[in-house]
Amino acid sequence: MSNDNNLILKPTKVEDLEHLFQFQLDEEASYLAAFMPKDPTDKTAYIKKMTSLLAYPTVNMRTIFVNDRIVGSVSKFEMEGEAEITYWVDRNFWGQGIMTQALKDFLTIEHTRPIMGRVAFDNLGSQRVLEKCGFEKIGKDIGFANARQAEIEAFIYKLI
- Per-residue pLDDT 10s for the chain (160 aa) are 545 579 999 999 999 999 999 999 999 999 999 998 889 999 999 999 999 999 999 999 999 999 999 999 999 999 989 999 999 999 999 999 999 999 999 999 999 999 999 999 999 999 999 999 999 999 999 999 999 999 999 999 999 9
Half-sphere exposure of 57 (CA within 13 A, CB side): 0
Per CATH, is 7-116 categorized as 3.40.630.30? Answer: yes
Write down the pTM of the prediction.
0.93
